[in-house]
Structure 1
Amino acid sequence: MKKILTCTVLAGVLVAGIVTSSSPDSRADPNSQLVMTTYGVGTGTYNDLAAVSDSLTRVQGTQVRILTSDTSIGRVAPLKAGSAQFSRMGDEYYFGFEGIQDFSSENWGPQDLRVVWAPMGNYGLMTRTDAGIETFEDLKGKKFPRVTANTSINIKLEAYLAYGGLTWDDVEPVDVSYSDQTEALETGRLDVLFSSAYGSNLEELASTVDVDWMSMDDDSPEKMAAVNELAPMVTIGEFSGAPGMEEGESARNFAYTVPLSTYADTDEQQVYDLVKAMDENFDRYENTTPSAGEFALDKVLTDPLVVPFHPGTVRYLEEQGLWTDEAEQRNNDLVERQAALQAGWDAFIGPADKGNLAQEWTAWKEEHLDD
């Protein structure tokens, strides 16, 4: 009889920076209640996670409690404290691993994180047709979004500019929240917006404004190197059928994961049981949200990019014939990198200028770790 994890979703709210105290060993107990963190109630990431958990509730197993936070630190802190085992994270899975951005602080530094399950998503730049933007070089001088309180998106926006040989100095930055971009494009406050490729808000926008999707058709080494230097967590993917597209039209743009992640010391069997349950019960939740279908085994990322996969996930992928020698080597290299980052941080943090940690840590890594 197959072993299946079952969940009961208990919606919880996490105030950023405040976590419930618990034993550090709670991550290593596969029989304890599972606690997961993610973005706020109503976001796509929350809805996906709730749908997965709710579907698994229908089969006997472990309860799951979902804690929400709008900040990267708020989503990772419960894992570090041991009061949560898993998190559906944004780019903080990479930022934490490297000890950069919000994690360049005395209380954090490099975190020994691992990817558990990595559904992919397509994202891109949508423009007003009347803005006259046909190439990425044409973004020069245009009203370009700078999304408030969202470092991970702004890094990707900077990477788009680099693809066109541009920087923030070459565009007219418009500070705007992620959700307000559609209205800003409609009213002309923006010439371009950044979004996932699908969504009802984009459908509504495309019904009132002529729009186009930019496409990264030039994959020359120079352009790809410019993107990778700023946003190594992205790949280039192709999508079609997005709002504003004609039948048969497609665009090449960013594809990246908002993965379910955990720390390296989370029990291997617990991780294995979870990923097996998500796979074997996929038909229970695949149509419950617009993006839940990306949790399918044949769609998730199976090759490590910037953070290693957890051993429990590796074991399941091996059983499914989806773990290659190349993936194993890349995973081992990333595990070794984390060990070097941890050792490097321990040597770095003592004499470092505490008021300038982010810049000094980046410079230290470039000198000691990066080619």
Structure 2
Amino acid sequence: MSLFSNRLPSSVLAIGCAVGLTVGAATQTVDARENLRFATSNVGSYGYAVGNVISDVLQRELGRDYALVVQPYPSTSGAMRSVMDGDGEFAYTADVGMRSLYDGDRPYDNYDPERGRLVHTLYVYPMETFMLVPSDIADRFESYADFDGEPIFFTPAGFMNWLNMGRIFAALGYEFNHIEIDSSTVADAFEAGTIIGSAGYTTAGVSLPTYWREAELRADLTAINFSEEERERLRDAGLEPVQIDPSEAFSQDVGEESVWAVPIYFAYNVRVDMDEDLMYRALTALYENTDALVDGDPGFGPLAADFVGTQAAGVAVNPDIPVHPGLARFLQEHGQWNDDWIIAE
């Protein structure tokens, strides 16, 4: 047998061992990373875009011990269920969705999560809901009382702004008479008299949805504001009205220098079994990197302006829902904890 043939097996064996050790070490390193999965809305949605920006910042700040992954779902409720059943860590939701969950409303009636319900954790941006009417009938409206029982399109049924308008009208004691139409036909429905008003909304006070952008090109619109007494009733119900500058969102004059709206606080919330220190670290990292969030998407502007206040506002809308210990610790540290709130156990 030649010298070469005698040495070949040992050389191959040595190389094989080296490669095996390298691959094994790499596999062990990958396996050692903890997945933090963001269950979000469908690809192309604003929630999906927001989830990507947040995950990018957290990946950089939390380090190589964690692997941040964005997982889109067809609906917000689907994203919430996936996390509550253990198939994710952060669930895209909103304060109205959290209310439906804890009240056992559809689609959560008879739902028993495998791992546990979501709790207040991370609120990321507001969406502001308000009312608009055709300008040629605007003189019929002085406040929301004039919408009582009238035919209105409150945005597509079951969506977050529809739910928001439902709780607004319930707090004010007015009849909620929703007329379901294709959202792309708002201007046509105004002209036909099918509806006398419609809910509108902005994201972070500056961005209109596509169908309202199209509607304002075809119809003259006027925003209707709450009366002072209505604003007080909303505050008593835990719904804090905010003012937005319509010139930031609309291309036309909507008749008001400021529009009063009720915000929805969108969130990425987790189950209570998520580690307290990790959640506190995540909140602190985002708080210290709001510039990076805004660079990723300008819709983070309100969060950057008052990160701590946004968290407190998200909790305050549903104060009976438990707060993750990591968020409780963060709010306590920054002086915005309310002792009436409940720390999740």
Provide TM-score, normalisation by structure 1: 0.67
Query: CA-atom RMSD, angstroms?
Result: 3.4
Q: Kindly report which structure 2 residues correspond to 1:283-294, keeping only aligned pairs within 5 A, or say none.
A: 283-294=291-302
**Change in 2 beyond 3 A, CA 1:80/1:246:** closer
For the pair 1:211 / 2:221, whether they are aligned, the reply is: yes
1:113 alignment counterpart: 118
**Change in 2 beyond 3 A, CA 1:52/1:250:** same
> Equivalent of 1:224, from 225, 234, 244?
234
Query: 1:223-269 deviations in whole A, cap 9, x for unaligned?
Result: 438x83xxx5x431111134144698002221121112111111112
> Equivalent of 1:270, from 278, 281, 285?
278
**Structure 2 unmatched runs, 5+:** 1-30
Larger displacement relative to structure 2 (199-208 or 288-297): 199-208
**Which amino acid counterpart does residue 68 of structure 2 have in structure 1?**
V
For the pair 1:78 / 2:78, whether they are aligned, the reply is: no
Structure 1: how far apart are the matches of 2:301 and 2:243?
A: 16
Partner SS for 2:153: strand
**Change in 2 beyond 3 A, CA 1:99/1:311:** same
Structure 2: how far apart are the matches of 1:277 and 1:205?
A: 40
1:316 alignment counterpart: 330
Q: Kindly report which structure 2 residues correspond to 1:1-371, keeping only aligned pairs within 5 A, or say none.
A: 31-57=33-59, 60-61=63-64, 62-90=66-94, 91-105=96-110, 107-108=112-113, 112-119=117-124, 120-132=126-138, 133-134=140-141, 135-140=143-148, 142-150=150-158, 152-162=160-170, 165-168=173-176, 171=177, 173-176=178-181, 179-180=183-184, 182=186, 188=192, 189-197=194-202, 198-199=207-208, 201=210, 202-219=212-229, 223-224=233-234, 228=237, 234-241=239-246, 242-243=249-250, 244-245=252-253, 249-296=257-304, 297-303=307-313, 304-305=315-316, 306=318, 307-319=321-333, 321-324=334-337, 327-332=338-343, 335=344
Larger displacement relative to structure 2 (293-302 or 215-224): 215-224
Give the C-alpha shift of residue 150 in structure 1: 1.1
**Which amino acid counterpart does residue 45 of structure 1 have in structure 2?**
G
Partner SS for 2:121: strand
Query: 1:190-240 deviations in whole A, cap 9, x for unaligned?
Result: 432223233263445334321122211333598438x83xxx5x4311111
**Which amino acid counterpart does residue 144 of structure 1 have in structure 2?**
I
**Change in 2 beyond 3 A, CA 1:287/1:142:** farther
Contact 1:182–1:205 at 8 Å: present in 2 too? Answer: yes
**Change in 2 beyond 3 A, CA 1:93/1:129:** same
Count of aligned positions? 294
Structure 2: how far apart are the matches of 1:79 and 1:193?
A: 34
Runs of 4+ in 1 over 6 A off after TM superposition: none
**Which amino acid counterpart does residue 322 of structure 2 have in structure 1?**
P
Partner SS for 1:272: helix
**Change in 2 beyond 3 A, CA 1:288/1:207:** farther
Structure 2: how far apart are the matches of 1:312 and 1:30?
A: 23
Query: 1:138-193 deviations in whole A, cap 9, x for unaligned?
Result: 2256431154451644333334444665313xx4x32135x536555665554322
Contact 2:223–2:254 at 8 Å: present in 1 too? Answer: no
Contact 1:235–1:256 at 8 Å: present in 2 too? Answer: no
Structure 2: how far apart are the matches of 1:100 and 1:203?
A: 32
Partner SS for 1:176: coil
- Give the greater-gyration-radius structure (CA): 2
Contact 2:245–2:259 at 8 Å: present in 1 too? Answer: yes
**Which amino acid counterpart does residue 72 of structure 2 have in structure 1?**
T
**Which amino acid counterpart does residue 278 of structure 1 have in structure 2?**
L
Provide TM-score, normalisation by structure 2: 0.72
**Structure 1 unmatched runs, 5+:** 1-28, 340-371
Structure 2: how far apart are the matches of 1:164 and 1:200?
A: 26
Give the C-alpha shift of residue 105 in structure 1: 0.7
Partner SS for 1:330: coil
**Which amino acid counterpart does residue 162 of structure 2 have in structure 1?**
N
